[in-house]
Amino acid sequence: METKNKPTLYWSLLKFKDWHFYIAATSKGLVFVGSPNKPFEELFEWAKKRFPGSPLVEDDAKLEPYVIEITQYLEGKRKTFTVPFEYVGTPFQLAVWNALCEIPYGRTSSYSDIANNINKPAAVRAVGAAIGANPILMTVPCHRVIGKNGSLTGYRGGLEMKTQLLDLEKRGSSSNE
């Protein structure tokens, strides 16, 4: 089903408590975790930009490993992800997203910390933009980035979700120490 330069995007709707997320993967790995309770249109518009011409195919079975791990994470039973990801972004975005993955479970970093980690200390605003473009919520933990003064800052999933994820991780990390 893969066509030259147009990988099939397999998608499913992940339901967890009051949250519903559209998720998508290629044959190489997870590429998208949508914002909670957003319509399919969010995935469709993102796919049109990042994978123009790629077919979108609903396939719950193919997405099951991702659904299982994300659900385990949301239940507080998983701290790291073992499923593969396929990052689709600029080299700068990839560097930022990889740096996000280095933030330990239950901890936070600031935008300037991330900029310093990728050896671009003056690029704090660009780091913020790259974090905002992260297509794989939770699994690439952009929710762990806060303002330098400790304040919660924007999050594609909304500040309520960011707060809940940080609280989940804080409880999970303190219960194992």
Catalytic residues, which ones?
142
Nearest CA to 88 out of 40, 37, 26 is that of: 26
**Crossing angle between the packed helical segments 91-101 and 124-132, to the nearest 10 degrees:** 80
Q: Are 131 and 145 in contact (CB under 8 A)?
A: yes
Nearest CA to 157 out of 170, 172, 175, 139 is that of: 139
The rounded radius of gyration (Å) of the Cα atoms in the chain is 16
